[in-house]
Amino acid sequence: MKLRQNLEAAFIVAAVVANFASYAMASAQAPDVVRAAPAAVVANTAVNPNVPTVVIKAHRLSAVEKAALN
């Protein structure tokens, strides 16, 4: 019973700390570099035509073909 009470107290303390931490992090702004990174990645792949592209062409298996594989 004592172990259960200690674990309950540890859970409540962790929940309170996580709650305050979430409010503290919500008020902080994200760095500009993180917001600009996806646009830079998309722009680099659109500019560079030498990026290898994989195209997969295949037909769907019919029910008979699926049954034959099993």
**pLDDT tens digits for range 8-37:** 999 999 999 999 988 877 776 666 654 444
Average pLDDT over residues 50-55: 79
Number of domains in the chain: 1
What distance in Å separates the CA atoms of residue 34 and residue 19, rounded to the nearest whole number?
24
Q: What is the mean pLDDT of the chain?
A: 77
Q: What is the pLDDT of residue 45?
A: 52
Q: What is the pLDDT of residue 37?
A: 47
CA of residue 22 relative to chain centroid, distance: 18
For 63, which DSSP code?
A: H
- Provide the domain limits for residue 17: 2-69
Half-sphere exposure of 24 (CA within 13 A, CB side): 6
What distance in Å separates the CA atoms of residue 24 and residue 64, rounded to the nearest whole number?
59
Q: What values do phi and psi take at 8, rounded to 5?
A: -65, -40
pTM reported for the whole predicted model? 0.36
